[in-house]
Amino acid sequence: MVLLRLLVLLFALVVSDLHSLPWFINVSESQGPGTVLQFFSFNCSSYTPTPTLELLNVQPPTTFFNPPSLARWQGTYVGKLTLSSSARLDALMVNHYKLWLKFTCGNYVTEGPLFVDVQRDLSHIQCAGQFASPAGEMIRVPETVRPGARLYILLLPGLELHRAQMSIISAQDPPHFPGPFSINEQGWLQAPSQGLLGQAQKVFQLQISVSFGQRQSCQGMVMVKVLPVSSSQVSFFEQAQNITIPENLAPGSEVVEVWARGVNLRYEILSPMPSPFFSIGHADGVVRTTAPLELARTPGTVVSRLQVKAFERHQPWDSAELNLTMNVRLVNLWPPRCLPALLVSQIPETAPVGTVLTTLTCEDPDSVGATLDYKLWFRSSSDPASLCLYDRVLEVNATLDCDTPGSCFQHAASILVLDGGQPQMTTEVPVLVMVTPVNEFSPACASRMFRVREDAAPHTLLGSVVGTDMDYPHDNIEYYTSGGPPTFAVDRLSGEVHLLGPLDYEQQRVYRLTVLLIDHGQDQNPNCHRSGSCTITIEVEDVNDHAPECEPPFQELTIYVPLGRSVEVTKVSCRIPQEPQRLAFSYSIVGGNSQNRFILQGAMLVHSDLVLGPFWPEQRNTYELLICVADAGPSIPHLSTTATIVVHPVFSKASREATSIHRTTVPSMMTPMLVTDTEAFWQPQPWFVVVLTATGALLLLVLGWLLGRLLQGLAHLLQAPSKLAQALLLNTIQGTKGSLEGFMEVPKMEISQAPSSIKGLHYDGRAQDSRTGRDYLFNTRMGARRWL
């Protein structure tokens, strides 16, 4: 045992954080006196006085904890806290304690709390209270208690969630017991089925065992003391009373105060129980009203019978009874009450005369079944003849109509209801009758016909469908198509007919479209609609939109052409598959006829050799002719296609009786792509070609003359420099004035004969003559001088 305590102490020193406050510990409520709750370790120098560990206070106050002890062990002071001998931990009573500890080491003092949480131990639940004490629980009951009545309820804290089994284990043998007492699982102790009458002054000791959990139980005792019932000393002065009260008493009003003989009395109403209209003061016996006593609402309150009981407070069996009769007197205070209190009605405009709108139900709260008077009074300026009142029935009195603007109106009136009491009371019932429209007529529209070109673009407006409706608001119509082609659409609100897809005159020329008209907003019921329909016819106008197709689109032919003769080459065969009725076409050669060797005679291609020209030997040449085939007729635009014919003519000098033609066509498996294109070209008039040719020739002549003049002037310019150089050399050799003058005459003569371009020379140098001293300008390139 000593070894075990040392191990516990060593474990506490190792694992406890002894220098950090506060501490928190949990302890089971099953722990008894002497249980160690916590170890504390403190360091204190040996040179200081002996340290101390104190328990300053406990919250809530209790003696369950011993003062902590402090001992020295291997240089460290170890404190210990234990439970005292009076410790009886109960988590249901107190589950949390706060201990304030103080440690003193010389001048060093530290304080801190220790929190102890008491944990519930379900394996140690015990009986508690007076029931578990040696004396047991004492209860007192009168001997007049009814058989099997509930005498006592055994409550054990902590056993609410446990299915405890309770039983009486003590002997209940006669003649000491009139019969056995019983207790159920809820802890209800019940009287014997024989009752306790005649058992006064007896005390029955009942030992009760409570079992719960696995092999857990506790026991307690209940003492039942039977009290005698003495002769009655409580009595009323009279056995019955009749009281008359008005019906307009407010709830809580005092009606009567009853008196009885006796000491420390209490009063209660035995019947009816519960009492809906009256109550009695438990101590003073004052009877008061608890609800309005309106005879019209509660006819049963005219006469109310109450049974009042007076009894002694500590001996309830000592009692007396009194019969009270309450007579409620009628008071004429209320005007008639009607259902409905506000009459709001809707009637259709087609309601016939005599239609019942409502039957007013009214009664006088002061006098049930009394006769009432009814009067109809109009508030609005509407026709008062439209409604009438027969007794309590409101009816339609005139024909109603809402199809004219402003004719659908509301009728505001009041029904005055008067009773026959004094003073006379009147009730006004407001009446609001609203006339609602009825969708009586179906919308209609007239059949129409529209025309549209087959090349019209999508969303083209073709026209409008105009519908009419006589109901108000007039012509409130929506338009829909019913099973028509998807090529056309009708606008839902405006009735406009639009084109949605492409048209083809050759496939379908006439469309018939059924337009469905549905009205809305013309009836009180938004789902009530009427419909009508009409048929519109759409005719498609033909537009030339298919180009001709040639068969075959490409041909290659070899022909033998005698000189000087024309030869038919081939016939161009074209048609429009989509429009087989169109047979008029125009033919023209638009390419490849370089020498105008080919002409077209209608659809026939002819090689013509009548053109004048030099004779050529027999040789093979190739012509790739492009023939434009366009449709003709009044339809526009005119579309065209191009056929390609490759011709290899072989020319022969000798004439032949028969011209052989070798045809080469495109195989069926190699059909070339046919491209149809419409080209615009300009073909000038013959007179314009003649004028343009003459103007070109004249322009060439003018350019030739200008070029000749330019070459002639350039030749003269090249001869002038040589003559000037010779004149200068002669002037230098002679050196005389006369010769100089003669020399000057020569240049003048030459210069005058020279072209005018010499006079415009540029002199780029200046010098002085050594003989005459005159200055002159000279040209270094040509040697010309100019005297200053």
Report the pLDDT value the prediction gives residue 268, as an integer from 0 to 100: 93
- Tell me which residue has tokens 């015990």: 126
Task: Say how far apart CA 256 and CA 245 lie, in whole Å.
Answer: 10
316-335 per-residue burial string, b: 16 or more CB within 10 A, e: under 16: eebbbbbebebebebbbebb
Q: Is the pLDDT of residue 652 over 70?
A: no
Q: Please report the pLDDT score of residue 407 as a whole number.
A: 66
DSSP string, 435-471: EEP---S--EE--EEEEEETTPPTT-EEEE--EE--S
Percent of the chain with pLDDT over 90: 19
CATH class of 444-541: mainly beta
Q: What angle do CA 633, 635, 638 make, to 5 degrees?
A: 80
Give the residue-averaged pLDDT of 732-745: 39
In this prediction, residue 616 has a pLDDT band, given cuts at 50, 70 and 90, of: very low
At the topology level, CATH places domain 549-651 in Immunoglobulin-like (2.60.40)
Residue of 281, 284, 289, 306 whose CA lies nearest to 254: 289
Can you tell me the distance from the alpha carbon of 724 to that of 730, in angstroms, rounded to the nearest whole number?
A: 10
The two tokens of residue 651 are: 């020319």
**C-alpha–C-alpha distance, residues 652 and 559, integer Å:** 11
Q: What kind of architecture, by CATH, is found in domain 235-329?
A: Sandwich (2.60)
In angstroms, the Cα distances linking 588 to 407, 568, 609, 625 are: 78, 16, 19, 10
- Counting DSSP H helices and E strands in the chain, the numbers are 3, 54
Q: Which of 2.120.10.30, 2.20.25.10, 2.60.40.60, 3.30.365.10 is the CATH number of 130-227?
A: 2.60.40.60
Rounded Cα–Cα distance for residues 250 and 568 (Å):
132
Q: Residue 150: left (phi > 0), alpha (psi -120 to 50), or beta?
A: beta
Q: What is the pLDDT of residues 721-738, one digit of tens each?
A: 555 444 444 444 444 344
pLDDT of residue 256: 92
Indicate whether 507 pLDDT > 90. no
Per the model's pLDDT, the better-predicted residue between 593 and 717 turns out to be 593
Strand 23-28 to strand 108-119: parallel, antiparallel, or no bridges (unpaired)? parallel
22 vs 310 pLDDT, higher one: 310
Contact 548, 575 (CB under 8 A): yes
Question: Are the CB atoms for 513 and 464 separated by under 8 Å?
Answer: no
- Residue 160: band (very low, low, confident or very high) from pLDDT cuts 50, 70, 90: low
What is residue 720's predicted lDDT score, i.e. its pLDDT?
A: 52
* Fold assignment, 337-436: Immunoglobulin-like (2.60.40)
Let me know: does 225 contact 203? Beta carbons within 8 Å.
yes
State the pLDDT confidence band at 746, using cuts at 50, 70 and 90. very low
* pLDDT of res. 497: 93
* pLDDT at residue 747 tops 50: no
CA 90 from centre of chain: 61
Measuring CA to CA, how many Å separate 552 from each of 631, 643, 674? 17, 8, 10
CATH assignment, 17-119 = 2.60.40.60
pLDDT at 323 over 80: yes
Q: Please indicate, yes or no, whether the overall pTM of this predicted structure exceeds 0.85.
A: no
- Asked whether residue 750 carries a pLDDT value surpassing 50, the answer given is no
- Contact present, 75 and 81 (Cβ < 8 Å): no
Confidence at 392, pLDDT banded by 50, 70, 90: confident
Contact 552, 590 (CB under 8 A): no
Same fold, 17-119 and 444-541: yes
> DSSP labels for 253-286?
-EEEE--EESSSEEEEEEESSS-SSEEE-TTT-E
- pLDDT for 293 equals 85
Cβ-count burial of 160 within 10 angstroms (0-12 exposed, 13-18 middle, 19+ buried)?
A: exposed
Please compute the mean of the pLDDT values over residues 611-626 and round it to a whole number: 61
Q: Is the pLDDT of residue 242 over 80?
A: yes
pLDDT given for residue 670 in this prediction: 43
Average pLDDT of the segment spanning 607-635 = 68
For the chain, the average pLDDT equals 79
The residue with greater pLDDT, 739 or 250, is: 250
Q: Are 404 and 437 a contacting pair, CB within 8 Å?
A: no
Rounded to whole angstroms, how far apart are CA atoms 108 and 785? 138
Of 709 and 747, the one with more pLDDT: 709
Q: Which residues, 6+ apart, have CB-to-CB distance to 724 below 8 Å?
A: 747, 750, 758, 782, 783, 784
For the cut 70, the answer to whether the pLDDT of residue 696 exceeds it is yes
Pairing of strands 640-652, 554-562: parallel
Indicate the range of 5-9, 198-202, 541-545 predicted with least confidence.
5-9
Residues 673-693, mean pLDDT to the nearest whole number: 65
Query: What does the pLDDT look like over 70-109, one tens digit per residue?
Result: 888 777 888 889 999 888 888 777 889 999 988 888 888 8
3-state secondary structure (DSSP) of residue 367: strand
pLDDT in tens, 344-372: 888 888 888 888 988 889 988 777 788 89
Q: 553-574 pLDDT, tens per residue?
A: 888 888 887 777 788 889 888 9
pLDDT-derived band at 491, boundaries 50, 70, 90: very high
Structure-token pair, residue 637: 């635009």
Per domain, the residue ranges of the chain are 17-119, 130-227, 235-329, 337-436, 444-541, 549-651
